[in-house]
Structure 1
Amino acid sequence: MDGADGGTGEMVVGVPAIRLRPFVDRYVGYREWAAQPLVRREVAGAFVVVILGWGAPLDVVDPRSAERSAYGVDSFVAGTFDAYCATRTVGMGEGVELLLAPLAARRILGLPLGELANRAVAVEHLPGGWLDRLRCRLAVAASWSARFALLDAALAARLATAGPVDPRLEWAWRRLTDSGGRDGVGPLADEVGWSRRHFTVRFRQEVGLPPKTVARLLRFHRAYAVLGAGPAVPAAPVGAQRSGAVGGWADLAVRCGYYDQSHLIRDFREFAGDTPAALLAGSHSSNPG
């Protein structure tokens, strides 16, 4: 297939074993050729990206900090992140991508996500070396189905020995995701029986970002998903927007829990690096947000 943003290659989606589906939605195997440097903007996310690759290396660049970036890596983990970043590669890239919810990633990786937030870390620098060993096994496997079976076995083994996540944080995460980020931090803290400060500290340690930031990202994800479906939310005529008619960016803002259209646009600039209109015109990131 031809990549929409300059690469050519193939993508294969694998479905994890049933016991893993509460933790892993899917595996995405990819093989992509880029004759010229291929640069993609990746949106911020309340999720964890795991890339296990064996092809051409890439750079993962956070424009805010070189220390939080990773250069010349083929496999890395990127924690929850509250701003967009960019990837750059050239040549033949091959590997598998997983997108994990934070508390699932916390169990699988075996470390609090406060240690990974807003960072891309090469897998050889992570504790235990198991991801690096898994990457090597994936590289020599004979087929995508064999690779997905290796992932099933490795992740099941990790989860079998992983310690539990505090159920109060699991409950708070579900409430935030179910409400699309509309629940306030104060009421959530009251429900779990913690002070707002203690709740924020514990949530940030385990998820990587404060609950208020995660709520903003969840609202953004919802709006970005609508946008990513294609030109289904065209801008309403200027007069219609001023009169408050349904349609356009103002309507999308209200449906996704924003105060108004300007609030939506500010979050898109911060989390995606561009306005919704510009993204709809064709500058989408490669991750699903």
Structure 2
Amino acid sequence: MTAVTPVDEMVVGLPEVRLRPYVDRYIGYRERADVPLVRRETAGVFVVLILGWGAPLDVTDPRSAERGVRRADSFVAGTFDGWCTTRTVGVGEGVELLLSPLTARRVLGLPLGELTNRAVSVGQLPGGWLDRLRCRLAEAPDWPRRFALLDLTLAARLAASPPVDARLDWAWRWLVGSGGRGAVGALATELGWSRRHLAARFRQEIGLPPKTAARLLRFERARAALASADAPTGTASSGRVVDWAEVAARCGYYDQSHLIRDFHQFAGATPAALLAARPTG
């Protein structure tokens, strides 16, 4: 894997206030890669929307070539339960959004079960509105006007879309609030649904069954804990030893081996390897 080159420009924009329950930020970027730049992207129970112009990207899921997309400057990646890679060369520019599953369901106008473990060029999605939005973003003269255009477009999409089932919305918030620790059986009981019905609704609307979504929420919590300022920042080779068992217990894992298995599946590496590869200074 080639070394990651610095991003030439990154601009973070906050959506207007009424959108912040749905979108926490916009990330505008401009990046030059003179040689092929390959990144390993971790799994997540979120939807990635890239609206770009310039150098295209390849998105590859090592489990199946059919799940990825080739030479796309703009794409949507649904909820993934495994890591994938991106590859690009040249100068790329665009905006990245990370959307919660139920927000993405309303903005995109389709059940996320249709995008599970898939990256799809925006040109393949119905209506063509995302491709038109990409062109307007590329033509805008600066980042503030691009972010304002995103505000207008997303507000209109949300206003025109029906709200999701209130019970499903509550179930998702319950699972997120528990950090993935809540028992799926208890969640089904709270809703008055069978576990089978709960799993079917999650697969259709969120793209993953609730048990997998809970695992990914725990994984995100563990990854954030390792990246946080108060987490151990070294390895045994630098004279500091991470108590992985303590990290596992704090993030809701049964034991250290459980934590490591999830990191292998969702990040393609052990937590120690990811920590060692983190830039310092």
Calculate the TM-score normalised by the size of structure 2.
0.94
Equivalent position amino acid for 2:25 in 1: R
Name the structure 2 match of 1:256.
251
How many angstroms apart in 2 are the aligned matches of 1:35 and 1:198? 50
Instruction: Give yes or no for the alignment of 1:169 onto 2:168.
Output: yes
Task: Report runs of 4+ in structure 1 exceeding 4 Å deviation.
Answer: 234-237
1:22 Cα deviation after fit: 0.5
Equivalent position amino acid for 2:219 in 1: F
Map 1:202-281 onto structure 2 (within 5 A).
Answer: 202-229=201-228, 232-233=231-232, 248-281=243-276
Per-residue CA deviation, residues 246-271 of structure 1 (Å, 9 max, x unaligned), is: 96111000000000111101100100
Name the structure 1 match of 2:155.
156
User: Unaligned regions of 5+ residues in structure 1, if any?
Assistant: 238-245, 285-289
How many angstroms apart in 2 are the aligned matches of 1:151 and 1:248? 43
1:209 Cα deviation after fit: 0.3
How many angstroms apart in 2 are the aligned matches of 1:117 and 1:62? 12
Equivalent position amino acid for 2:217 in 1: L
User: Unaligned regions of 5+ residues in structure 2, if any?
Assistant: none
Instruction: Give yes or no for the alignment of 1:95 onto 2:94.
Output: yes
How many angstroms apart in 2 are the aligned matches of 1:265 and 1:235? 17
CA contact (8 A) 1:180 1:219 kept: yes
Between Structure 1 and Structure 2, how many residues are aligned?
273
How many angstroms apart in 2 are the aligned matches of 1:111 and 1:60? 21
Instruction: Give yes or no for the alignment of 1:18 onto 2:13.
Output: no
Name the structure 1 match of 2:78.
79
Q: CA 1:256/1:17 → structure 2, altered by over 3 Å: closer, same or farther?
A: same
CA contact (8 A) 1:53 1:139 kept: yes
Name the structure 2 match of 1:59.
58
SS at match of 1:159: helix
Per-residue CA deviation, residues 126-164 of structure 1 (Å, 9 max, x unaligned), is: 011111000000001000000000000000000010011
1:283 Cα deviation after fit: 5.8
SS at match of 1:217: helix
CA RMSD of superposed structures (Å):
1.6
How many angstroms apart in 1 are the aligned matches of 2:150 and 2:5? 29
1:7 Cα deviation after fit: 4.0
CA contact (8 A) 1:45 1:81 kept: yes
Equivalent position amino acid for 1:75 in 2: S
Per-residue CA deviation, residues 190-218 of structure 1 (Å, 9 max, x unaligned), is: 11111110110011100000000000000
Per-residue CA deviation, residues 86-121 of structure 1 (Å, 9 max, x unaligned), is: 000000010000000000110111110000110000
CA contact (8 A) 1:46 1:80 kept: yes
CA contact (8 A) 1:30 1:95 kept: yes
Name the structure 2 match of 1:242.
none
CA contact (8 A) 1:77 1:121 kept: yes
Per-residue CA deviation, residues 211-259 of structure 1 (Å, 9 max, x unaligned), is: 000000000000001122368225787xxxxxxxx96111000000000
How many angstroms apart in 2 are the aligned matches of 1:66 and 1:247? 36
Name the structure 2 match of 1:39.
38
